[in-house]
């Protein structure tokens, strides 16, 4: 029993060691997002609180904490409170399997990529629950839109993952990274990387696919009735999901913790830093897209997902597997 508790404590310690940096970086990433957005539009962005406005997110968080939480009288109260909790929890638990370096991962499970995929497909529930429990028209429409959108783009992300798995021969995330030692998958699977990036934008409800919260039509979508810390939790969960998608993209296509070339000044930098650089690179791309591209119309969004991305990625599965089979490159262990 004693050893059981000591295992429990070391695990809790490890989880805190992972989650606290993730939460802090989520706050920082909000600041970065706004700065990049402002930079593209020739504005200054948040630059008042702290050096370069770095503490803006902390100030915002403080504001949200002291705001009143309003629960609408006609809402379904339990589900209403549960929705942001579900969003936040699901956004955080998926970090358990992201490998930050060799043997530097919280849970090195056999089916890591399936776990990531499963948890990100659960993410839709926070939004549906929030939209339904608010018992009001705008949140409900936003939730329905969001659910349809996320389910559609999940399909193409799944097919893209199959492409990568064909080249790896394992569902373990560390194996996926180690398989890219000679060649990052972004080079042979470049079209898949582009589709993954766009699907990740749609999956996380980022512009140009932020139709669930299209302010011109739906006020703020599923978040309309939320206030104070509950709204902030939705927000944090959303950004944690974005970071997670960036991490997933770096692990699947950009070689995870591996350095770009295995020469002295590069491979002296420890692996976690490389992963963080790659996540930041992808995130800045996310922010640039947000700043430059106008919002899609809903039918165009569905058309893109089902009629263009899905057939194309299926075709690419056939192409990849035939290529691997023909040149006898199939990873059989």
By CB under 8 A, residue 2 contacts another protein: no
Residues 266-295 that bind another protein (CB under 8 A): none
By CB under 8 A, residue 178 contacts another protein: no
Angstrom distance (rounded) from CA 318 to CA 163: 9
Q: Give me the helices (H) in 94-227, please.
A: 112-122, 124-133, 137-168, 173-178, 190-203, 215-218
- Cis ω before 208 (30° cut-off from 0): yes
Angstrom distance (rounded) from CA 162 to CA 320: 10
Angstrom distance (rounded) from CA 226 to CA 71: 8
Nearer to another protein, 146 or 180 (CB): 146
Which of 117, 184, 196, 222 binds another protein (CB under 8 A)? It is 117
Q: Which two tokens stand for residue 179?
A: 């398989």
Angstrom distance (rounded) from CA 22 to CA 27: 9
* Site pattern 136..175 for another protein (x: CB under 8 A): ----x---x--xx--x--x---x------------x----
Q: State the minimum distance, in angstroms, from the CB of residue 152 to another protein.
A: 11
Nearer to another protein, 222 or 283 (CB): 222
Q: State the minimum distance, in angstroms, from the CB of residue 105 to another protein.
A: 16
Q: How many residues does the chain have?
A: 333
By CB under 8 A, residue 80 contacts another protein: no
Nearer to another protein, 41 or 300 (CB): 300
Vertex 62 angle, CA 58 and 65, to 5°: 135
**How many positions of this chain bind another protein (CB under 8 A)?**
27
Nearer to another protein, 25 or 149 (CB): 149
Which of 125, 197, 298, 312 binds another protein (CB under 8 A)? It is 125
Q: Give me the helices (H) in the chain, please.
A: 2-40, 56-66, 77-93, 112-122, 124-133, 137-168, 173-178, 190-203, 215-218, 228-252, 264-267, 271-292, 298-303, 310-326
The single residue listed with the structure tokens 């394992």 is: 170
Q: Which two tokens stand for residue 246?
A: 């960036």
By CB under 8 A, residue 79 contacts another protein: yes
By CB under 8 A, residue 299 contacts another protein: yes
Nearer to another protein, 147 or 220 (CB): 147
End-to-end CA distance of the chain: 39
By CB under 8 A, residue 27 contacts another protein: no
Residues that bind another protein (CB under 8 A): 1, 4, 79, 109-111, 114-115, 117-119, 121-122, 124-125, 128-129, 132, 140, 144, 147-148, 151, 154, 158, 171, 299
């Amino acid at each position: 029993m004693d050893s059981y508790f000591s295992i429990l404590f070391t695990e809790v310690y490890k989880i805190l060691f992972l989650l606290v940096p993730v939460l802090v970086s989520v706050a920082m990433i909000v600041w970065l997002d706004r700065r990049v957005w402002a930079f593209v539009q020739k504005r200054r962005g948040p630059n008042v609180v702290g050096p370069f406005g770095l503490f803006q997110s902390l100030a915002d968080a403080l504001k949200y904490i002291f705001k009143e939480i309003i629960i609408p009288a006609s809402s379904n109260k339990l589900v209403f409170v549960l929705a942001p909790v579900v969003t936040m929890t699901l956004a955080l638990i998926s970090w358990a399997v992201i490998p930050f370096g060799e043997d530097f991962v919280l849970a090195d499970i056999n089916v890591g990529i399936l776990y990531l995929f499963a948890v990100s497909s659960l993410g839709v529930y926070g939004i549906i629950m929030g939209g339904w429990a608010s018992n009001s028209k705008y949140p409900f429409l936003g939730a329905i839109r969001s659910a349809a959108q996320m389910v559609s783009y999940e399909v193409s992300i799944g097919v893209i993952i199959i492409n990568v798995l064909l080249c790896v021969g394992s569902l373990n995330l560390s194996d996926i990274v180690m398989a890219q030692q000679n060649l990052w998958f972004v080079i042979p699977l470049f079209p898949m990387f582009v589709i993954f990036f766009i699907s990740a934008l749609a999956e996380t409800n980022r512009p140009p696919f932020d139709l669930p919260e299209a302010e011109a039509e739906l006020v703020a979508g599923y978040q309309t009735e939320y206030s104070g810390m509950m709204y902030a939790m939705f927000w944090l969960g959303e950004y944690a999901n974005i970071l997670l998608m960036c991490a997933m993209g770096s692990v699947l296509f950009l070689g995870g913790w591996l350095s770009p070339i295995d020469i002295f000044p590069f491979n002296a930098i420890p692996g976690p830093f490389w992963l963080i650089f790659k996540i930041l690179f992808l995130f800045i791309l996310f922010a640039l897209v947000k700043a430059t591209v106008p919002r899609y119309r809903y039918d165009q969004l569905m058309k893109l997902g089902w009629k263009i991305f899905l057939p194309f990625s299926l075709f690419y599965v056939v192409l990849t597997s035939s290529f691997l089979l023909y040149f006898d490159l199939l990873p059989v262990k």
